[in-house]
Structure 1
């Protein structure tokens, strides 16, 4: 059921077609009910394709990138090239393996982002944060099956906390409970502390209640904010099945003004990278 929720944009469009067919066949009650429900869904989903109001951005411009490396199979050189070309300040990595750390450093990551909190591990358990600016490790999440690195980033202005997000997928054999618990364990905005940014593979779309609840705890989805909320991030090769959906997000403190969001394909991994620029207020 939770996996089906991710298909809400497709279901909404299919509902309009189904409702139209029912009306054409003079199944008035069925057609009207389906059309009304579908219109509500389409209105909710379509809003993600239009930019929201932007707060005035006076402060430090920061560029954050997140990439799920698929257990270290992603092309490290491409990731580093994106970091260099996009002038990335903070890189959040999921499924970070020790071998991937070596590949990234050989490709030149350490020269670009020398400060890091890496919790590398075999398979898909590891994660990490690499930064242009000094970092201090912070444990910002509740208990989780997969490692979710956290760090305090010492920006030129006010500091910023970052979490590399990766809850267990809800389709695992253990059921959805760990996914729900781990999403609930992500930190809300802290009005009395540094700006927080949650970046990574949430294994959830904005149609999932658990993610919407987190966003409503003081964040904005960067892609949704600039009208790019319907750009899919998984799977990256756009197969017929499963339909592409948006599982990778950068949630920023609602006090931050989001400028841009780009979604970029990285060879070797089934997740597309997300790059965003926003302003951390003074």
Structure 2
């Protein structure tokens, strides 16, 4: 019985204390919601077999894990900052291969004002232009690059190019100032730190995500939109939020809308790697995910309300 109870207790301690580091812990901690649900099994077995101390240990682990994950199902109160709305979309284009027509269709269908693109290649830019993205979102900060490091922000509103945030890992992020009439100044980045896919890359992910810009609660409104390669169960991601951000899906009670993997080549449970992270002054409405053919990520859509300018 202890062989069943101890792993769940260790996982709960790792998650609560934020001790995950290196490979494979950084990867595995993303599956905490599934572990929380599975922890009910050893608890039930311990109760049925009247193994009191294993039952107590597993019960503590189950409660701790539930406290970490259940709030994502529950919508939080959101401020009404009194400014204009901003509808945003994030799409990881899987080395530029995501279906451009679907992306432009989502922009039109959801009345998107701003889209952040990751893994944005020269071929992706050509395909999006041909599909009519420039017609609906005519302003862009665009850094197409071969492979997975390209990045872009397209907007209905005027933008100023603030450059390409280059990480030591060679991943990077398009940065834009967006002028939304009636709102405070807005800064947007199309987020994409490297993925913790191996022992070497787990450390590059930790370095990259540590360089994501902190919130500026007394300055410009900051929005980080994209593929963080992180979930709410990663301590590094929670540290970033603690600077003055909120995760839009968590606020909306949609924190279990998995965005990856969406691809027939993968047979693992879905996790929430893509996020709309907004300054805590920003109001949050609906959040949803949408399939995009030829991408291994779902697109993430969020309705935001900006502070009045």
TM-score range, shorter-chain basis?
Answer: over 0.9
Say if 2:188 is the partner of 1:156: no
For residues 166 and 72 of structure 2, what CA distance do their matches in structure 1 show?
29
Q: Is the 8 A contact 2:166 2:173 kept in 1?
A: no
Counterpart of 1:137 in structure 2 is 161
Within the candidate set 200, 211, 216, 1:190 is matched to 216
* Structure richer in helix, relative to its length: 2
- CA offset at residue 142 of structure 1? 6.3
Q: What is the deviation of 1:213?
A: 0.5
- Find the residue that maps to 2:304 and give its secondary structure: strand
Show CA shifts across 1:95-132 (max 9, x none): 00100111101000011111111111111111111111
Q: CA deviation at 1:240?
A: 7.7
The yes-or-no answer on 1:223 pairing with 2:243 is: no
8 Å contact kept, 1:70–1:270? yes
Consecutive unaligned residues in structure 1, runs of 5 or more: none
Conserved 8 A contact 1:65-1:275: yes
What 5-or-longer segments of structure 2 have no aligned partner?
A: 1-24
Structure 1 position 147, deviation (Å)? 2.0
> How many residues are treated as equivalent by the alignment?
282
- The residue number in structure 2 matching 1:234 is 260
Cα deviation, residue 227, structure 1:
0.2
- Partner residue of 1:214 out of 229, 240, 261: 240
SS in 1 for 2:88: strand
Note if contact 1:117-1:137 (Cα within 8 Å) is conserved in structure 2: yes
Backbone CA RMSD of aligned residues: 1.6
Task: Tell me the secondary structure at the aligned position of residue 9 of structure 1.
Answer: helix
For 2:201 and 2:58, locate their aligned partners in 1 and report how far apart those are by CA, in whole Å.
30
Q: Is the 8 A contact 1:23 1:32 kept in 2?
A: no
Return 142-151 or 68-77, whichever deviates more. 142-151
Instruction: Please report how far the alpha carbon of residue 139 of structure 1 lies from its aligned counterpart in structure 2 after TM superposition.
Output: 4.1
Answer yes or no: is the 8 Å Cα contact 1:20–1:35 preserved in 2: no
- For each residue in 1:158-199, what CA deviation from the matched residue of structure 2 results, as whole angstroms up to 9, or x when unmatched? 221000000001123523221111111111111342100000
State the Cα deviation string for residues 125-147 of structure 1 (Å, max 9, x = none): 11111111111111485634212
Deviation at 1:262, TM superposition (A): 1.1
